[in-house]
A and B are shown apart, each in its own frame.
Chain A
Amino acid sequence: MRPAPEIVRGTSGASAKDAEVSALHLQWMRAVAQDKDTEAFRGLFAYYGPRITALLMKSGAGRDVAEDIGQEALMRVWRKAPLYRAEMGSVSAWVFTIARNARIDKLRRRSSQFHQDIDDMELESDAPSGEDSTITNQRADMVQTALGVLPAEQREIIELAYIEDLSQSEIAKRLSLPLGTVKSRLRLAYGRLRTQLGALS
Chain B
Amino acid sequence: MNPHHHLDDATLVRYAAGNLDDAFALVVASHLALCPHCFAALREAENIGGVLLDAVESEPMRTGSFELMMEKLHSDADVAVKERVVAAAPLGDVPVPLQRFVGPRLSEIKWRTIAPGIRKYVLPTSGRDGSNLYMLHIAPGMAVPEHGHGGAEITLILSGVYRDDMGVFGPGDVADLDEHVEHQPKVELGAPCICLVATEKPTRFKDFLSRLLQPLTGI
Contacts and interface: CB of A to CB of B under 8 A. Distances in A.
A3 interface: no
Interface string B1-18: 000000011101111111
Given A83-B84, A122-B86, A93 B61 contact: no
B69 interface: yes
Nearest to B30: A114
B175 interface: no
Interface string A25-53: 00000000000001001100110111111
Contacts of B29: 114-115, 117-118
B62 A162 contact: no
What is the predominant secondary structure among interface residues of chain A facing chain B? helix
B50 A96 contact: yes
A42 B51 contact: no
Nearest to A159: B52
What is the predominant secondary structure among interface residues of chain B facing chain A? helix
A50 B62 CA distance: 10
Interface string A1-24: 000110111111111110000000
A134 interface: no
Given A110-B129, A121-B96, A165-B18, A75 B40 contact: no
A33 B152 CA distance: 41
A110 to B, nearest CB: 5
A17 B47 CA distance: 13
A179 B37 CA distance: 26
Nearest to A58: B56
B63 A8 contact: yes
Contacts of B81: 79-80, 82-83
Among A7, A11, A159, A197: residue with most chain B CB under 10 A: A7
A103 B40 contact: no
Nearest to A120: B84
Contact of A122 (B19, B57, B65, B88): B88
Contacts of A70: 61
A7 to B, nearest CB: 5
Given A11-B58, A71-B69, A190 B84 contact: no
B41 interface: yes
B61 A50 contact: yes
Contact of A49 (B25, B45, B61): B61
Interface in B17-64: 17-19, 21-22, 25-26, 28-30, 32-33, 35-37, 39-63
Contacts of B72: 71, 75
Given A67-B61, A83-B81, A125 B48 contact: no
A44 to B, nearest CB: 10
B202 interface: no
A135 interface: no
B48 A10 contact: no
Interface in A65-121: 66-67, 70-71, 74-75, 78-80, 82-83, 87-97, 99-101, 103-104, 108, 110-115, 117-118, 120-121
Nearest to B49: A96
Contact of A147 (B40, B51, B87): B51
Given A75-B73, A97-B49, A126-B36, 7 more contacts: A49-B65, A50-B58, A67-B61, A79-B79, A83-B81, A144-B54, A158-B48
Q: 3 tightest A-B contacts by CB?
A: A93-B50, A92-B50, A50-B58
Interface of A: 4-5, 7-17, 38, 41-42, 45-46, 48-55, 57-58, 63, 66-67, 70-71, 74-75, 78-80, 82-83, 87-97, 99-101, 103-104, 108, 110-115, 117-118, 120-127, 139-140, 143-144, 147, 158-159, 161-163, 165-168, 179-180, 183-184, 186-187, 189-191, 193-194, 197
Interface of B: 8-10, 12-19, 21-22, 25-26, 28-30, 32-33, 35-37, 39-63, 65-66, 68-70, 72-73, 79, 81-82, 84-88, 96-97, 100, 129, 178-179
